[in-house]
Amino acid sequence: MSERVERLKRLAYIPQKEIGWLLEQAELADKQRAIIEEHQRQQDIAVNQFRQVQQDIRRLSGESSRYKKALQQVIKNLQFTIRAAENELEGENS
């Protein structure tokens, strides 16, 4: 950008007022570019965070499923053990 500014300053036939306006526009465009780049960077970060959260949800859902199945198996085993104990007690009482 500084090359453009220097080139504009060397052009004698452009009135000083217009050069000032052009410089302001160039500075504004540079600021806008910086803002756009920062927004893009923040958007990239948000996308990466979203993807990470999606992966975490899938992983946690899988773990939840495994724990649920394991808990169901423990309950079945406990029910079987309780029935066996009840049958033993009934056999002793007869």
pTM, full prediction: 0.54
Domain that holds residue 49: 2-93
Which residue do the tokens 């899938």 mark?
Answer: 58
Query: What residues in the chain have per-residue pLDDT under 70?
Result: 1, 5, 8-9, 11-14, 94
Q: How many separate domains does the chain show? A: 1
Q: What pLDDT does 81 receive?
A: 94
**78, 17, 50: which is closest to 25 by C-alpha?**
17
pLDDT at position 12: 59
